[in-house]
Amino acid sequence: MKVALIDVPDRMIRMLPGFAVVLLDEAVKHEFDPRCDMWTVTAPSGRATTARVIVASYPVRGPNTFLFERNNYRYIKRCLRMMGRQDARRIEARPEARISYRRKPDPHNYIFTPYESDVDETHRGPAVLTVDGKQIDVQVHLMGHVQPIDGSYRWYGRIMADLDVTSAHKSGRNDVTVRLPGGLDREGRLTELDPWGNIRITGSGRPPFRYP
């Protein structure tokens, strides 16, 4: 998960181990894309960066944003980890919530939007991931659903933490194939590393698991 820190003390980087953090002195523009729940932050130089979450020293309107105040970095870190546990791409405080940074965050005070919904199929267990001809034994949790607009099938999920897979993702080798026991290779793409070292994978068309 990528986090943009804007006008926030450098020490905040150390408080977010496992997250992809970008530090900005200031920003002149923030744009949120609800189609993918990502922010585009533009610096005064005109350089833009995308991030899942914004942490800023001033209020930024929209989901996936946190106001940095004195000594609330632990609260923010716990909220980000809640997003990971919920497999969420969006977090929003409920309008009626009474939030205190002096306490641990209560998940009931927040609305979480998962990466996908309306799941039709799911598979947990072993799989073989092939990256640049190299086969890697992994554990996966895969699921999918039919797109209502065109009837195509979209599948996605998580590959459990594996050093070889993480290395491939960080080096940009994200086009892979996945094969479940007794199944066929299906093309997918590595997309995002979470704080626990797991990597999201997406694909379209016939999935690796059984599908009518």
% of the chain beyond a pLDDT of 70: 93
pLDDT at 101: 84
pLDDT in tens, 127-136: 999 999 999 9
pLDDT at 116: 58
Beta strands in 34-174 (DSSP E): 38-42, 48-51, 53-56, 65-67, 88-93, 110-114, 121-131, 134-146, 153-159
pLDDT at 147: 65
pLDDT in tens, 25-76: 999 999 999 878 899 999 999 999 999 999 999 999 999 999 998 878 889 9
- Which portions of the chain are predicted below pLDDT 50? 117-120
| Nearest of 120, 169, 123, 170 to residue 145 by alpha carbon | 120
Q: What is the pTM of this model?
A: 0.59
Q: What is the CATH number of domain 121-204?
A: 2.40.10
* Domain locations in the chain as residue ranges: 2-114, 121-204
The token pair at 42 is 């533009």
